[in-house]
């Protein structure tokens, strides 16, 4: 831990400060152009160029942000591949954050898959070899005493940070363990979505790569790898490192929401359960995925007329995401009148070993509550385990949820068997990318004669079946977590409660009319700013109802609007 005599005052190494009128900076000349939040490039006015010593360092023309955005979009479109588009946008972000977010906001549906899932996975795989400018904070399990020094080097004070996104990169977007590049890339990508969708101020958000080593042999034997060259640290030493991170981050930035991203199943749930009651914290893989599926499910309930308490749910893929969703759906059934045990018994989890049973010895702790009594299925057909076709045949589920990443697992046989037992089968194959989805929506509509209520994890173009055009809902977490984060920040909530997650899900689901033929169960991604603002208001109001808010919410709609950072150039003045 840095000694008292070596600590710098907050903001001591920061070259600018934010005011109501714009930015004040001690930087001059090239130093201004090297700071992404200050740099406007050709948009600096003549007066700013005089005051900041920029004459001769820029072309003569003074352009508008609109002009720059048109040129930037043309340059983006000229990139030959999605990975090159990602690299172009990240380079733009490194030199001019306002222009970057303006482009992202103007073309959100087009660019979201480029800056985040799925293209960010390619960028992560190439992180060490495409390494450019570091972003955020890199914390090493081999230097626990350096955590405070690392955060202090940001030059940020206790009231300067609203959000910290951290990842140890063990389970990155279906590609697994990608070490320090995975942690840095996924945290920075997540923050980009927070800002583009919900207006989280990028100057008040910090991405953190938690470098605990890697079990990826390709990285360990790559001469260019820039992370710790040893196997992943686990057990007590890992827990002590995480605790040191949480303790330091919450002490130095007491108002910040701590977001966990892409942790492995053995750590993600355990970490969340340890800290969730004590600090504002959130795990998107578990809670965000669960809440957005719940939002779609609430739409399906309205469309089908079958209440939550009467649902029979088969979860195919009982890992962290699948059980996280099960938790949210179970809570919704409890709120609809069931007791917790009865709600749990209306969920059937199926994983690699088949239907999870209570006599299995290899269950994870979070799977155990949902394991079915072995006696209950004594007469069921087995083939090394009770497979999905048998479960569907016996259970006659009203909802079939896929988080397995097993492409094609929802076969015609399985879907037709399900559809035979329910008028409006709810089928959510949400694994992504496309090569991992359990079934394609066009097939689901065909196999159910257009009766299926569908949400996927990938974007799908509208599908015409019969005389109806179906808009397929994308269960994209970006519809929910940015607004949840913004509402938590605006209310300064002491923690993120189940009620706040429920409020977020209801707000998202309430933005669409599901009664129209072929209607989507969720809003469209291009409306993310509107969705995020609506979610943020609902979350902040719920925090106030639960006495979790640490500020007075006199006008939450206006307070949310006032808190949303906009990608516009602000006046830069010297100090």
For 271, residues 6+ apart whose C-beta sits below 8 A from its C-beta are 242, 260, 263, 283
CA distance 245 to 252: 11
Helix, strand, coil percentages for the chain (3-state, nearest 5): 45, 10, 40
Task: Show the tokens assigned to 434.
Answer: 């496309």
Of the residues 85, 190, 275, 370, which is catalytic? Answer: 190
Report the distance separating Cα 289 and Cα 559, nearest Å: 27
- Please give the backbone phi and psi of residue 399, each rounded to the nearest 5 degrees, phi first: -135, 135
What single-letter DSSP state applies at residue 365? T
Please confirm whether the linkage preceding 433 is cis (ω < 30° from 0). yes
At residue 357, the 3 state secondary structure works out as strand
Query: Which of 236, 124, 140, 131 lies closest to 181, judged by CA?
Result: 124
Beta carbons of 532 and 195 less than 8 angstroms apart: no
Task: Give, in degrees to the nearest 5, the angle at Cα 327 between 560 and 292.
Answer: 40
554 noted as active-site residue:
no
Which residues are 25's β-sheet partners?
A: 16, 574
d(Cα 43, Cα 40) in Å, to the nearest integer?
Answer: 5
Kindly name the residue from 76, 88, 100, 116 that is annotated as catalytic. Answer: 116
Distance between CA atoms of residues 288 and 200, nearest Å: 17
Cis check for the bond before 118: say yes or no (omega within 30 of 0).
yes
CA distance 198 to 201: 9
d(CA 209, CA 183): 4
C-alpha 100/C-alpha 364 separation (Å) is 42
For residue 396, indicate whether it is catalytic. no
* Six token digits for residue 480: 């929910």
CA gap 72, 69 in Å, rounded: 5
**Is the separation of the CB atoms in 350 and 383 below 8 Å?**
no
Question: Which of the residues are catalytic?
Answer: 116, 190
């Amino acid at each position: 831990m840095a000694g008292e005599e070596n600590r710098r005052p907050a903001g001591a190494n920061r070259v600018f400060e934010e005011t109501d009128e714009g930015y004040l900076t001690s930087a001059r000349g090239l130093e201004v152009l090297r700071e992404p939040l200050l740099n406007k490039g050709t948009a600096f006015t003549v007066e700013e160029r005089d005051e900041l010593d920029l004459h001769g360092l820029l072309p003569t023309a003074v352009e508008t942000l609109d002009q720059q955005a048109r040129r930037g979009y043309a340059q983006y479109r000229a990139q030959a591949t999605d990975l090159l588009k990602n690299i172009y946008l990240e380079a733009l972000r490194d030199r001019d954050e306002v222009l970057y977010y303006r482009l992202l906001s103007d073309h959100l549906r087009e660019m979201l898959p480029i800056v985040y899932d799925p293209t960010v996975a390619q960028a992560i795989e190439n992180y060490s070899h495409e390494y450019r400018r570091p972003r955020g904070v890199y914390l090493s399990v081999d230097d626990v005493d350096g955590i405070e020094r690392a955060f202090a080097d940001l030059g940020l004070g206790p009231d300067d940070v609203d959000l910290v996104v951290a990842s140890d990169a063990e389970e990155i977007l279906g590609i697994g363990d990608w070490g320090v590049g995975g942690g840095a890339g996924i945290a920075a990508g997540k923050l980009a979505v927070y800002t583009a969708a919900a207006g989280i101020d990028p100057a008040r958000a910090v991405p953190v790569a938690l470098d605990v080593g890697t079990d990826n042999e390709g990285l360990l034997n790559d001469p260019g790898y820039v992370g710790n060259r040893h196997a992943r640290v686990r057990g007590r030493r890992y827990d002590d490192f995480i605790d040191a991170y949480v303790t330091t981050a919450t002490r130095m930035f007491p108002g910040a929401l701590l977001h966990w991203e892409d942790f492995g199943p053995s750590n993600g749930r355990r970490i969340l359960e340890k800290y969730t009651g004590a600090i504002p914290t959130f795990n998107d893989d578990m809670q965000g995925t669960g809440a957005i599926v719940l939002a779609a499910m609430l739409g399906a309930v309205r469309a089908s007329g079958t209440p939550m308490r009467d649902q029979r749910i088969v979860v195919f893929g009982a890992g962290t995401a699948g059980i996280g969703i099960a938790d949210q759906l179970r809570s919704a059934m409890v709120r609809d009148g069931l007791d917790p045990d009865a709600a749990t018994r209306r969920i059937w989890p199926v994983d690699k070993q088949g239907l999870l049973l209570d006599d299995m010895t290899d269950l994870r702790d979070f799977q155990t509550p949902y394991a079915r009594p072995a006696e209950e299925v004594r007469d069921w057909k087995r083939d090394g385990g009770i497979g999905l076709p048998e479960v569907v045949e016996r259970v006659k589920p009203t909802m079939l949820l896929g988080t397995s990443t097993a492409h094609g697992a929802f076969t015609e046989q399985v879907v037709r068997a399900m559809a035979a037992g329910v008028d409006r089968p709810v089928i959510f194959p949400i694994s992504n990318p496309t090569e991992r989805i359990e079934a394609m929506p066009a097939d689901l509509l065909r196999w159910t004669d257009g009766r299926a209520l569908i949400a996927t994890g990938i974007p799908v173009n509208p599908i015409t079946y019969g005389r109806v055009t179906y808009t397929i809902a994308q269960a994209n977490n970006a519809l929910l977590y940015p607004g949840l984060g913004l509402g938590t920040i605006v209310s300064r909530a002491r923690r993120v409660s189940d009620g706040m997650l429920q409020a977020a899900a209801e707000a998202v689901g309430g933005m669409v009319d599901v009664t129209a033929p072929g209607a989507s169960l969720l809003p469209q991604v291009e409306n993310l700013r509107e969705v995020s603002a609506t979610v943020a208001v609902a979350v902040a109001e719920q925090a106030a109802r639960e006495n979790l808010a640490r500020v007075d919410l006199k006008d939450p709609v206006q307070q949310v609007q006032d808190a949303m950072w906009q990608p516009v150039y602000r006046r830069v003045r010297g100090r």
